[in-house]
Amino acid sequence: MFLDALRKGRQSQCKIDYEFTEDNRANDQGRGYNFTEHWAHNFHFCNWSKWLLDLPAMEALPGGPRVLEIGVFEGRTSTWLLENLPSARYLGVEPFPNSNLRVNLNAVTRNVPGSSIVMVEAPASKALPDLITEGHKFDLVYVDGDHSEGGALWDAMLGWELLAVGGIMIFDDYFDWELPDEMEKKLGTVRKGCDSFVNARREDMRILWRWDQLAVRKLKEPGTTPW
């Protein structure tokens, strides 16, 4: 487990692994997972481990840490989170769940007995306002949903409302090297949407990472003093 390794000072276990190898595939399949893509890899998860350890008493939170993932795809990130934060209360928002996602969520419930998993099969534009209305708050929000400029900004602003003070929000594809030029011109980019969000809430956050992903920590609600 990356979190356990970091606690024991063995950061060397967080090796950078960009390639989806046959060893990776065999290890996944041995645990019952079926991933066809390797977009989330150890480089991301090493960073995540450090940020999660920075959260105040993450694993001691009453009932366990509350985790929201916007855009789940096959569940690679969700399975990593549940394996490394087994007490987490996980809620995923995915409008188009696929068969691999169902296989992988079933596998993680076997690998991590007692896992708390809720999947909302709806667009974030509908699911997030409903969660706000219902009064939900989360300690970690991971955004990997709509990759247009406007969609990224919308997910960011609603996700921020759902993020508890002291919590961390992570955005995937802050720099998307694979986005074709014509698509970037048509849709804008995740980075532009995120930058608009950061500019609007800069005094309320601390930036932890700003490269391939963007990670920020919520210091306070708008109009309040830092916690």
Q: Which residues contact 99 (CB under 8 A, 6 or more apart)?
A: none
Q: What does DSSP say about strands 214-218 and 205-210: parallel, antiparallel, or unpaired?
A: antiparallel
Q: Does residue 25 fall inside a structural domain? A: no
- Predicted confidence (pLDDT) per residue in 167-222, tens digit: 999 999 887 656 666 665 555 688 999 999 999 999 999 999 998 899 999 999 98
Question: What total number of domains does the chain contain?
Answer: 1
Range of the structural domain that residue 162 is part of = 58-218
CATH number, position 195: 3.40.50.150
Q: Does residue 127 fall inside a structural domain? A: yes
Q: Does residue 37 fall inside a structural domain? A: no
- Report how far residue 151's alpha carbon sits from residue 147's, in angstroms, rounded to the nearest whole number: 6
Q: Does residue 38 fall inside a structural domain? A: no
- Predicted confidence (pLDDT) per residue in 108-160, tens digit: 999 999 999 999 999 999 999 999 999 999 999 999 999 888 999 999 999 99
Q: What does DSSP say about strands 116-120 and 89-93: parallel, antiparallel, or unpaired?
A: parallel
Q: Does residue 7 fall inside a structural domain? A: no
